[in-house]
Amino acid sequence: MENFLLLIALLMVLMLYLVPSLIAFRRQHPKRWLLFLANVFTGFTVLGWILCFVWAFSALQKLRPSVDGCFIESRGASCGDRPQPKA
């Protein structure tokens, strides 16, 4: 029984440790694998865990509407198959 409780406790600690990575994968973060590695290797420090947690909620690509109502990426990628005018 003690071994079972120890296993449950270790699984709970592991889940808490990987919360930033789980959030990043759930949100389809563009750098989720890099965030996972940072979480694994720096998460044992409080600062590393907090930075990974904040990173998991940031840096999602924002879409902005264009003139014709089609959404384009903020990096200036084209909307659909039509080329965008060059600046």
Which DSSP symbol is given to 21? Answer: H
- pTM over 0.75, yes/no: no
- Cα 45 off chain centre by: 19
Q: What does the pLDDT read at residue 1? A: 87
Residue-averaged pLDDT of the chain: 83
Compute φ and ψ for 45, nearest 5 degrees.
Answer: -90, 145
Domain extents in the chain? 2-56, 61-87
Q: Which helix (H) or strand (E) holds 66?
A: none
